Amino acid sequence: MRVDLSGHRFAFPNECACCGRTPEGELTVSASRSWGSRVVHTEVKSWDVPYCVRCLKHIRNTEAARTQIKLLTFLSLILGIVIWFRLDLFWGVALGMLALIGTVLVHRTKLYKLHAECDSESCVNIDRAVTYLGWQGTLHRFEIASQRFACNFMAANQSKLVNLTPEAMALLSSSGVLSASNASRSPRRYLS
C-alpha cells in the first residue's frame, strides 16, 4: 500500500514492519536523487524502519540470495564467452545456457528455503516490508507491504497524510482511525 506523507519527521510504530512482533533492530530504507549537468549534486534521504530479529534474518538472507544470483549470472556469461573464444560458438552458448539454468535453479531453491524458514502466518513476505519511494519537497512516499503496519503508521502520522488512496481510506475507516470529518476534501471552485 502506498502511503504519502508531508513533513520532515514521521513516527514509526513500535512493531516489526513485517510480522508485527516487538522490534529488536532496524533496517534503513533510502532514496536518492541527482540534479545538475556540469556539477552533479546527489541528495540521499533515509529512514530507519523497525524489524524483529527473525525478520532481519530472512530479509538479509533474501538480499544475500539476490546478490548471489547476480554474481552467478555474471560468471555464467563470462564462462560462455571464454568457452566461445577458446572452443567455438556452439559450446560457448551451450555451456553458458547450462550455467544460467543452473543459476536459476539454485536461486529458486534458495528462495524456497527462505519461504520455508519464514513465519508465513505473521510475515508479509521474505523481502523488506517497507520501501521508501522518494520525496519531492516535503512530500515523502512509502510502499508498505503489511496492512497492519501501514494502518498503524498512518494512524501515528494522521495529520501528515496526503493523497490518501481509496484503499488507505478504507483501511483507516475500518480501523476507526479516520472519521468522516477527517476525510479528504476538494477545494470549492468559484467562477466569475
**Mean pLDDT per 10-residue segment, the chain (192 residues):** 91 92 92 87 90 90 87 84 82 83 85 76 87 91 92 90 86 70 46 46
163: left (phi over 0), alpha (psi -120 to 50) or beta: left
pLDDT on residue 178: 61
Nearest to 61 by CA among 131, 113, 24, 22: 113
Residue 27: CB atoms within 10 A of its CB come to 19
Half-sphere exposure of 95 (CA within 13 A, CB side): 16
pLDDT on residue 119: 67
Q: What single letter denotes the amino acid at residue 49?
A: V
Looking up cell 552533479, which residue turns up? 40
Q: Cβ contacts of residue 20 below 8 Å, gap of 6+? A: 122, 146, 148, 149
Burial state string for 58-94 with b = 16 or more CB within 10 A and e = fewer than 16: bbebbeebeeebeebeeebeebbeebbeeeeeeebee
Backbone φ and ψ for 131, nearest 5 degrees, come out as -120, 135
Task: In the chain, count H helices and then E strands.
Answer: 4, 6
Backbone φ and ψ for 35, nearest 5 degrees, come out as -150, 160
Containing 93, the helix (H) or strand (E) segment is helix 89-117
pLDDT on residue 106: 85
Question: Quick one: cell of 18?
Answer: 513485517
pLDDT on residue 109: 85
Contact 30, 43 (CB under 8 A): no
Is the Cα torsion angle 114, 119, 121, 123 positive or negative in sign?
negative
pLDDT on residue 79: 82
pLDDT on residue 186: 42
pLDDT on residue 115: 77
